[in-house]
Structures are given as C-alpha cells and as structure tokens.
Structure 1
Amino acid sequence: MRRAPAFRSMAGVSMIEVLVAVLILVFGVLGVAALQMTALRNSQSAMQHSQGVALTYAMIDRMRADALQARIGSYNLGNLGSDLGGTGTTVWTCALPDNGTALPVAERREWMEQVRGPGGLEPNACVIIDCDDANCAVGVRWDDTRGTQGNANQRIITRTRL
C-alpha cells in the first residue's frame, strides 16, 4: 500500500515569485540609473574645475607675454580682497570689459569671452585679475550647484610671479 505524501511538490514558479523577482530587478535598475546621474553631475563639476585652472593659466601666459603692462596693472579686473589673500575688499568682475585697441584691454575682453563662452565655464562666470608689481593673481568664479554638494560660488585662484 502506497502512502500519499504529506505535502504536494510544486512544479514551476508561482506568480508571486515572478512579481518579487521583477520588483527586485526594477529597484536594481533604478539604483544603477541614479548612480549614473550622480556620476555625470560630478564629472561635469570636475571638468569645470579643470577648465577653470586652464583658463587662469591662459591669462597668466598672456600677461607673461606683455609683462611690463601686467606689472603696472594694465590687465587688472576687480580686486583680490583680504579674504582671498590680497588687500581691501574682494571685487569680482562679472560684466565684459570695454572694447579697446590697446593689447591689455583686448586681451582681457577676449579672455573673459572665453571664460563665459560655449567652451568656457558658464555665461555668468566672474573673474579677477589683480597684479601688484610682479605678484599676480588670476581667479574665476562660477555656479557649480549641479555637482553633488556643489557650491553656488565655486572659485579657482592662481597666483604667480611675473
């Protein structure tokens, strides 16, 4: 005499098991998508930092080519205040400088157009060029709130001796 088993073995997968597996897969895909968005934001922020450094070096190279004018302050825009290691109050220049035919004036305007242009940081970026004799500082400031824990006033200041 055969005894019936105490429980029936099931063949296949139940609908609830399939639903649970799909939910786990959906949450995993959403997590990967969120990770990708964060990585893209941070990558953009890092690229802007690199651009800021390259732009400050570009202006310093322009001033080195015309060191006499740079040393007497012909390239100056704004003021590096005491909070940034200079003297007085910090003044950022956010508007494009006037057009002019003199080399320092033309160089400043062209550089600031690069800072604010399509290949630069952003259209609302601000700058400082502050030379006092042979000691010069070049700075750029932009809005980096898109990056993770970004700062609305991100800045890079490069100091050099001409």
Structure 2
Amino acid sequence: MTDPTTTPAAGEPFPEFSLPDAHGQMHTLSSLRGRYVVLYAYPKDDTPGCTKEACDFRDNALLRSHGAAILGLSADDAASHADFAEKFSLPFPLLVDDSASYLKTIGAYGEKNSYGKVTQGIKRQTFLIDPDGRLVKAWLAVKVDGHADAVAEAIDKDRARRD
C-alpha cells in the first residue's frame, strides 16, 4: 500500500487501529486475531440509512453464527454513540474517530457526491478482515439493503477458500 490514505487491496494487512468505543474501552484490530472482523464506516448516528445498516448487522443471524466481530466506525462522539447503541440495542461497539484520522487512513473519509452536491465527509464503506488481519473484501459504495447478507456470504466464500 503506497498511499497511506487508500484502502488496502484484498490480501494485504489491514491498518491497525486503537480506538475507543462509546464507553471509553479501547479496541484494536490485533486483539481480534482469530476472528473475522466486519468494520463498517458510516456517516452519522441515528440517521435513517445508518440506523438501517446498524440494525441489519445487529439482526444478521449468519454473521452471528460465524462469530464475526462487528465494529461500527464514525466521527460521532462517545455520547452520541452511546445513545444510538442504547436506542437500537446494538450489541457491538461503535468506535469513536472524532478527528476522522483513521477514517482517512483507510480511505473512508473524503470527497462525496450526493445528488450532484460535492462535500467532504465519511463514506459508507465496509471492510471484511480475515482472522489473520488481512483484507478479504471492501465495499466502497455500500447500498444498505441486503448489505449485511452480502458480508455474511463473503465470509462463507472466504472460509470455503481456506478449507
């Protein structure tokens, strides 16, 4: 990976992070070795698309059966994350990147075009990381409907490839 603000290619090590959740507990990618990790970047707590995406990850039985670690990531603060997680009974951590520095590192923050309006912000993206810390697949323009199922299917395919 030559540019430090670009999504790594499939098979490359995913950049390490050390970020707090809504309760101040620190999370690192290296502490999740041995499990699939679903790291999803989303624009804003408690907005329609972000709520649907979080609830779809929460409710996906196949992801649970795989034992995947699901982590939400946005620039919202800890209080906003805590309210959002409580309101929708989200059982996974929402990581705080208030400076958006890690979001920039993985290419999930930058120029967005919404209905012809160009802005800077968080891009709705998902990264599937394998038990060895390498990127399996990146979804760089997520459409929420059916997305959690697609992530679960990608874990199935990667597991079959490893067997």
Whether these two folds match at TM > 0.5 is no
| Greater RCO (CA < 8 Å, at least 6 residues apart) | 2
Specify the structure having the higher radius of gyration (Cα): 1
